[in-house]
């Protein structure tokens, strides 16, 4: 196997691109894909400070690494979910990365914000696994960005994550999530910061390879509440499709973004208000996060 760029020995074959790369040229390819995502969706400029949400996993640390290499001004944000050893270890990975690169890391504790860690929050609600956690993460990312004056939050969602989310939304024809699924969500309210996913063009296998080649020390274990079995199953199904037809995942997601999403955007119109209690954005009177905090209080 030869590198497409230099003809040297390739370390990684990318069947969907019909190409193979040596280590330096693969890393260059990876950075270019991130650059293309940032440009194409006007995610942020070099003048803006980007808040990078880091979980301690390979994707978000790889993203932070690329943005630092490309000279963007970044600050990390770690949300301590209070999930036993998993949270302790993932926090340590983020702290070590920040210290090694001499970059700032904000840490927000879910326990302080909600009154309990995610295990207790989940027990107090009848929501499906990870849904209370996802809601808390989105809320706290936005809140931290607003409080510290960041115009944009970047997350490490990759092509596999995005394709699996799309697959799940289509199975149930969930119009609102379909309208919202995008690599870049603009700010539609002064209290809502932009949310962007600069890795959406890169697969999980590619971010793992990048993290390995860059010697990034990340947490390998998954969260013990392991991602509702359904989203894992959707990933598996898409991987099987990808095996027999390289590029299937990419075509599925990119075809939707180009041809499907505009139709859903037209269907969904939401009026945004400010939460009566915390002032953050909601479609109702009280935001989902404040309702969650109430549920936790009642359960105690």
Nearer residue to ligand AMP within complex by CB, 156 or 288: 156
Provide the minimum distance between the beta carbon of 79 and Zn ion in the complex, in angstroms, as a whole number: 17
Nearer residue to ligand FES within complex by CB, 81 or 140: 81
Residue in 290, 292, 293, 296 binding Zn ion, rule: CB under 5 A = 290
- Give the 3-state DSSP-derived string for 227-268, with helices as H, strands as E and coil as C: CCHHHHHHHHHHHHHHHHCCCHHHHHHHHHHHHHHHHHHHHC
Other Cβ atoms within 10 Å of 207 Cβ, number: 26
Q: Are 49 and 74 in contact (CB under 8 A)?
A: yes
Whole-angstrom Cα distance, residue 104 to residue 14? 34
For position 81 contacting ligand AMP by CB under 6 A, the verdict is yes
Other Cβ atoms within 10 Å of 41 Cβ, number: 19
Helices (H), 58-157: 58-69, 84-101, 110-114, 118-124, 131-148
Residues 15-54 as x/- pattern, contact with ligand AMP by CB under 6 A: --------------------------------------xx
**Residue 79 touches which of ligand FES, Zn ion, ligand AMP, none (CB < 5 to 8 A by kind)?**
ligand AMP
Residue in 50, 130, 290, 292 binding ligand FES, rule: CB under 6 A = 130
Nearer residue to ligand AMP within complex by CB, 79 or 121: 79
Residues from 130 through 159 that contact ligand AMP (CB under 6 A): 137, 155-157
For position 55 contacting ligand AMP by CB under 6 A, the verdict is yes
Nearer residue to ligand FES within complex by CB, 121 or 178: 121
Tokens 């209690």 locate to 277
For position 287 contacting Zn ion by CB under 5 A, the verdict is yes
Residues 217-246 as x/- pattern, contact with Zn ion by CB under 5 A: ------------------------------
Provide the minimum distance between the beta carbon of 109 and ligand FES in the complex, in angstroms, as a whole number: 14
Whole-angstrom Cα distance, residue 206 to residue 209? 5
**Residue 290 touches which of ligand FES, ligand AMP, Zn ion, none (CB < 5 to 8 A by kind)?**
Zn ion
Residues with Cβ within 8 Å of residue 22, at least 6 apart in sequence:
3, 5, 6, 8, 9, 10, 11
Provide the minimum distance between the beta carbon of 225 and ligand FES in the complex, in angstroms, as a whole number: 4
Structure tokens, 6: 């230099």
Residue in 20, 52, 275, 292 binding Zn ion, rule: CB under 5 A = 275
Long-range CB contact pairs, 181-189, < 8 A, 24+: 181/256, 181/257, 181/261, 182/41, 182/257, 182/261, 183/37, 183/41, 183/43, 183/257, 184/41, 184/42, 184/43, 187/151, 188/272, 189/272, 189/281
Q: Which residues are at the interface with ligand AMP (CB under 6 A)?
A: 53-55, 59-60, 77-79, 81, 137, 155-157, 161
**Residues near ligand FES, by CB under 6 A:** 81, 118, 130, 133, 223, 225
């Amino acid at each position: 196997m030869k590198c497409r760029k230099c003809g040297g020995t390739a370390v990684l074959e990318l069947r969907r691109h019909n190409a193979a790369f040596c280590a330096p040229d693969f890393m260059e390819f990876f950075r270019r894909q991130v650059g293309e995502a940032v440009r194409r969706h006007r995610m942020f400029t070099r003048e803006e400070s980007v808040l990078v949400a880091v979980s301690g996993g390979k994707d978000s640390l790889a993203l932070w690494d690329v943005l630092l290499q490309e000279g963007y001004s970044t600050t990390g944000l770690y949300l301590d979910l209070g999930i036993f050893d998993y949270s302790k270890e993932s926090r340590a990975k983020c702290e070590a990365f920040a210290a090694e690169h001499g970059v700032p890391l904000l840490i927000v504790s879910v326990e302080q914000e909600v009154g309990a860690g995610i295990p207790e929050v989940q027990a107090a609600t009848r929501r499906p696994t990870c849904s209370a956690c996802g809601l808390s993460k989105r809320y706290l990312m936005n809140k931290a960005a607003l409080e510290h004056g960041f115009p944009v939050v970047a997350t490490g969602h990759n092509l596999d994550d995005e394709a699996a989310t799309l697959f799940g939304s289509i199975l149930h024809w969930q119009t609102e999530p379909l309208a919202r699924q995008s690599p870049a969500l603009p700010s539609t309210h002064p209290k809502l910061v932009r949310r962007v996913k600069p890795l959406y063009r890169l697969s999980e296998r590619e971010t793992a390879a990048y993290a390995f080649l860059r010697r990034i020390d990340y947490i390998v274990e998954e969260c013990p509440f392991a991602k509702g079995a359904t989203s894992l199953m959707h990933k598996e199904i898409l991987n099987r499709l990808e095996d027999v037809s390289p590029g299937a995942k990419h075509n599925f997601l990119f075809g939707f973004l180009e041809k499907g999403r505009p139709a859903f955007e037209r269907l969904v119109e939401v009026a945004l208000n400010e939460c009566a209690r915390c002032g953050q954005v909601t479609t109702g009177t009280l935001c989902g996060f404040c309702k969650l905090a109430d549920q936790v209080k009642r359960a105690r």
